[in-house]
Structure 1
Amino acid sequence: MKTLADFPAFVLRRPAALLGLALLLVQAAAILFAPLLATHSPIEANPLASLQPPSAEHWLGTDVSGMDIYSRIIFATRINLLISVIAVAVAFVIGVPVGLVVGYRRGWASTLVMRIFDFIQSFPVFVLGMALVSVMGQEIWNVAIVLAILFTPIFARLVRAEALSLRDRPFIAAARCSGATDAAIMFRHILPNALGSSIVQVSISIGMAILLTAGLSFIGAGVRMPIPEWGLMVSTGSQQMILGIWWVALFPGLAIVFSVLSFALMADAARDYLDPRGERSR
């Protein structure tokens, strides 16, 4: 039986998963050691150094306000991953038990919960996120709350689908015959067997949350200046792209690409690892 302790060895045998892990470790280093890795203040403007190209002084150049792009990218890793990880964690903690209960129990309450989720998911994700952030305010925690609201139905539906397929299995009937309560059946017998797809979805959702956070900031509905955030930096730099000033938008955009790629690769590795056949057919 596979355990969490076996996962590192599994990753080391797969080049794509190893690349994803390496990218995650780079981001972890940026989060933990940002003050040591940054060469300048991420929020201190210097109009005299505005729009300087990459150089020995400013490794990735400066933006229109003269702020060092490299330092802002390093500190933005904290903001983007903080928002994304917290949002997905909250969605997971809320969505999994809700999906478990509505999947195991039949009745009007379960139907009502699913209709609420249908209502949330009927809106385009980006449009709903923009509307909620506009109403709640452009603060870091508000963006995290909005993303948690958007991702909760995803986890609830995954667990509900698994619970629906498991609740009539023979081992569940045996648990009922032995006198197990509904709570014991749900959390001791069904939940451990229903978590596989949700665990994979965590990594996928973090990547999606990073894109949504950056997208909201890009259009001015997310994090505000001078807070360092990748989407906000791309938005600032996009205005100078037509003038040939490419570095302001390019490097934050690459940070988004590599961050999302790392979580996508790890999600793929987790899906392969949790596959009961050992390897997915490709």
Structure 2
Amino acid sequence: MSALPNHYETLREVFDYDRPTVDIGDVDAEVVDRAFAATTDEDALREAADKETLFVASAGLTGPPHVGTVAQMFAVKRLREAGFDTEFLLADYEKVAAGGRDLDVVRGLADDYRAFLDGIGYDGRVRTQYDATGVMQTAFRLAPHFDPDASIGVDAEPTAWVEALQAAYERDRDGPADEATTTDFGGDAASLLCLADFVHPTLADGYDQTVFVLGVDEHALVRANEHHLADAPVDAARLAELEAACRAGGGVWDAAVEEYADFLADLSRAWPSEGKRSTTRGC
């Protein structure tokens, strides 16, 4: 079907994505080229074996996995077999918050996904959003830097493939029976949690980089998260550098302490002086 390769090529051209043509550890470049249509960072793939890297695939729990989700499952299975750390993320809370789905139904569906992944021989990590309280803490850390109303450029002229896919969804898709109305806030909360899902492994779990294995049409998610993180003070590499400097002591650590002292001094000067404080109090 020529429409799909043309769609991939259009996305690569419009958004300046690379076609991955590199080895990923022991996974040969020819296999990588067949498995992945585009990448936002070919260097991350090339360097995966030399860095602490986590490969993550995910699924929004709307129902049984479609063929694209199954392909992602087998992709992380292959990467796991090549010796990499992998995770399959079951986005259950996203469907509760943004789709109004019943939590018990979605949790049951998550169990089915776990059983299916086990059945195909995948032995990497599987997690839900429901159980990942640490990721929720990361979401709160990111909240001051998250603007749900931000305008993010991800639009492109619809390709023949997109038009055919949209027509099929409109014609044939019935929503889950438990799906209900939700609020704009529910959708915003789901987006913030998704952002935390992306950031948490490098921010809190010690990985140098996290590579998400997604359907190519989820590239808008990546671009949105990059936008939200542009001004967020969550440089995991810098945190790791400071930790190493602290343990080693010496001039690098002394300079970091001095830099932090200046930062605190600037904050203290920003605090309202006596007589100029706001009379508004929080709850």
Task: Report the TM-score when normalising by structure 1.
Answer: 0.25
Higher strand share: 2
Task: Report the TM-score when normalising by structure 2.
Answer: 0.25
Higher helix share: 1
Higher relative contact order (CA 8 A, sep 6+): 1
